[in-house]
Amino acid sequence: MSNSYTPPKADLGVKTSGQYLACPKCQSTDLSKLKRNSFEKNPGYVCTSCKAKLRDASSTKTLYAYVVLGLVWAVLDRVFAHSVYSLAVGLVAVSYGVLKLSRPVAVSR
């Protein structure tokens, strides 16, 4: 009989491109992925220590595109269509992008 016991490895969190991601607020590596939604494949992470919602760094371009396209939609609507509903669509896209951009980015360790 062998008495060599190896303890289980600690779960260090989410690993991307060979590096672990960490929370920028508490520096913890205990992150879990948020569930996929209808707008994004990877909506981000949540820190299990401080409960902060973090966004993925690769989503920055997409979120800026939401803001710009929403603004263009809203301006073109006011110039040509004068529809309140169409204006609301543009403003929802802008507010979604701004809300997501306001979340901190998970940092690599």
Residue pair 61/105 in contact by the 8 Å Cβ criterion: no
Instruction: Calculate what percentage of the chain has a pLDDT beyond 70.
Output: 83
Count structural domains, the chain: 1
Residue 80 lies in a domain: yes
Residue 1 lies in a domain: no
Question: What dihedral angle (degrees, nearest 10) is formed by the CA atoms of 19, 21, 27, 30?
Answer: -110
Query: What does pLDDT average to over the chain?
Result: 80
Q: What would the pLDDT profile of 28-49 be if each residue is shown by its tens digit?
A: 888 888 888 787 778 888 988 8
Q: What is the span of the domain harbouring residue 100?
A: 15-108
Residue 9 lies in a domain: no
Residue 4 lies in a domain: no
